[in-house]
Amino acid sequence: MSELILKVENVQAKYGDFLAVESASLEVPEGKIVSVIGANGAGKSTLMDTIAGVHKPSAGKIYFKGEDITGMPAEKIVTRGLSLVPQGSRCFIRMTVEDNLIMGSYPKHVRAKAKDSLERVYELFPVLKEKRNDLAGSLSGGQRQMVAVGRALMTNPECILFDEISLVLAPTVIKDIYARIRQINKEGMTVVLVEQDTNRAIRTGEFATVMLKGKTVLAGRSKELGEDEIKAAYFGL
Question: What residues make up the domain containing 107?
Answer: 88-156
226 within domain boundaries: yes
Question: Is 93 found in the same domain as 135?
Answer: yes
Per-residue model confidence as pLDDT tens digits over 138-177 = 999 999 999 999 999 999 999 999 999 988 789 999 999 9
178 within domain boundaries: no
Q: Which one, of 26, 13, 9, 17, lies nearest residue 214 by Cα? A: 13
63 falls in which pLDDT band (50, 70, 90)?
Answer: very high
Counting the structural domains of the chain, the total is 2
8 falls in which pLDDT band (50, 70, 90)?
Answer: very high
90 falls in which pLDDT band (50, 70, 90)?
Answer: confident
CATH for 26: 3.40.50.300
177 within domain boundaries: no
The mean pLDDT of the chain is 94
Question: Is 163 found in the same domain as 57?
Answer: yes
pLDDT higher than 70, residue 1: no
Question: Is 98 found in the same domain as 42?
Answer: no
Sheet holding 67-68, edge to edge: 67-68, 59-64, 4-15, 18-29, 215-221, 207-212, 33-37, 190-195, 159-163, 82-85
Question: Is 232 found in the same domain as 164?
Answer: yes
pTM of this structure: 0.94
174 within domain boundaries: no
Cα gap 2→146, rounded to integer Å: 29
Question: Is 48 found in the same domain as 163?
Answer: yes
